[in-house]
Amino acid sequence: MSFAAVTHAQENGPDYFVEAVIDNPTPFVGERITYSFRFYNAVLLEDCDDETVVGCPQYVPPEFQDFWQQDVEERDALPDVAFLNDRQYSVQTIDTYLYPTRAGELTIAPASLVFPESVFRPEQAILTQAITIQAVPLPEGAPDGYNGAVGQFEMRGTIDRQSLPFGDPLRLTITVTGIGNLEQMTPPEIPVDTTWRIYDSDTIFIPASENPSQQTDTRIFEWLLVPSEAGSQILPAIDLHYFDPTVRNYRTISTTEITLDIIPPADGQPENLPPSSNTNLTIQRQALPLKAINANITTNSNNLAKIIFALMWVFPPIVFVAASVWGWRNRPHRRTIAKQNISALKHARRRLSAARKQNTVTAHRLIGEAIFAYFAAQLQIATGELNTEVMREAMRQRDIPNDMMTDLFACLDTAHQVQFTPNAANNSKRLIDRTNQTLMQIDRFWKQQ
pLDDT of residue 103: 96
Residue 404 and residue 100: Cα distance in Å, rounded?
40
Look at domain 3-135 and name its CATH class.
Answer: mainly beta
Record: fold of 334-447 = Four Helix Bundle (Hemerythrin (Met), subunit A) (1.20.120)
pLDDT of residue 80: 83
The ranges of the chain annotated as CATH 2.60.40 are: 3-135, 151-263
Look at domain 151-263 and name its CATH class.
Answer: mainly beta
Closest to 155 measured CA to CA, from 111, 188, 124, 127:
188
pLDDT in tens, 325-350: 444 344 443 333 334 444 678 778 87
Per-position DSSP letters for 342-410, written without gaps between them:
HHHHHHHHHHHHHHTTS-HHHHHHHHHHHHHHHHHHHHT--GGG--HHHHHHHHHHTT--HHHHHHHHH
- pLDDT of 236 above 70: yes
pLDDT of residue 199: 86
pLDDT band at 305 (very low <50, low <70, confident <90, very high): very low
Q: Taking all residues of the chain, what is their mean pLDDT, rounded to a whole number?
A: 77
pLDDT in tens, 108-138: 999 999 988 777 778 889 999 999 999 999 9
pLDDT in tens, 410-430: 998 888 877 665 555 567 888
pLDDT of residue 273: 47
- pLDDT of 231 above 80: yes
